[in-house]
Amino acid sequence: MPTLIACLSSGKGTWTEVNRLIQSRPWTKIFLITDKFGQEKFITRPQNLEFILIDNFQEINTIITNIKKQLQNKVSDFEIALNFASGSGKEHMAILEAVLEMGLNFRLLTLDNNQVEVLGLKADS
């Protein structure tokens, strides 16, 4: 999973999780779906990071189209890493629908006890 797509928006402390995920692996590409505020204020800026700008006040179908246009021809991986720690349900639905419409397979990534965890791959205890 060399590509990370993450929502960067509202939620106290959620930018820390996004930052840790960015630093957790040698990602080939990183796409942060955010608004102008997120683009201006997010400090971590590796060379392979690209901001996908959205306006959360738009209708959800407009946001989906906007995400797809900005990601078009930029993701060639079979499977991507996806993180929804930050943001609202509307943003999450738009990102998920855009990813599905683009035909991308994905794994959900999160932090658990400060360790990166790929959901669904953890062995049952």
Question: For 8-118, CATH number?
Answer: 3.40.50
Residue-level pLDDT, tens digit, the chain, 125 residues = 589 999 999 877 899 999 999 999 999 999 999 999 999 999 989 999 999 999 999 999 999 999 999 999 999 988 999 999 999 999 999 999 999 999 999 999 998 888 888 887 665 55
**Bridge partner residues of 3 (DSSP):** 29
pTM: 0.92
Contact criterion met (CB below 8 Å) for 13 and 78: no
Measured distance between the N- and C-terminal CA atoms of the chain, rounded to whole angstroms: 25
Domain boundaries, the chain: 8-118
Output DSSP code: residue 46.
Answer: -
